[in-house]
Amino acid sequence: MLVAAVICAVLAVMQYYSAYTTTLNVPFLKSFQPDLLIHSAMSNPFTYPLAFVPFYLFFVLVVGSSNAVNLTDGLDGLAIGLMVISAGALTVLAYTSGNRELATYLQLARNPRTAELTIFCGSMTGASLGFLCGMRIRRTFLWAT
């Protein structure tokens, strides 16, 4: 809880100094950038916590997704198959947002510093594929248990 409180305090100070933006970039919809902060609720100290409702919903989404992965994963390697799909999609999105021609053609937010992210996502895809191929051998031995 202490780490979460420190992160929230740092984010609040950064928001005060306008060090980051709270707009959401939706892929393939360049003109649609909703703001994740309800600015009208920030003026009153009683409604200030309500300004962060989208962040609370995001927290519930992350915790629910974590629990969903724990429920779907078993000895059969179902969660690693989903990891291959999602890491592969993130690899493609990171590469296209870093490439100038593809980013303008697909109307993605251009970020020229995504080379390391593309390599990381690609390595996660490869590692997941390697783990998935290794599950076939483990499944043979674990099937009897």
Give the residue from 75, 87, 8 showing the smallest Cα distance to 48: 8
- Least confident span in 40-44, 103-107, 122-126: 40-44
What's the first-to-final CA gap in the chain, in angstroms?
Answer: 39
Taking only the tens place, the pLDDT of each residue in 10-63 is 877 777 787 777 777 777 777 888 877 777 777 777 877 777 788 788 888 888
pLDDT at 145: 47
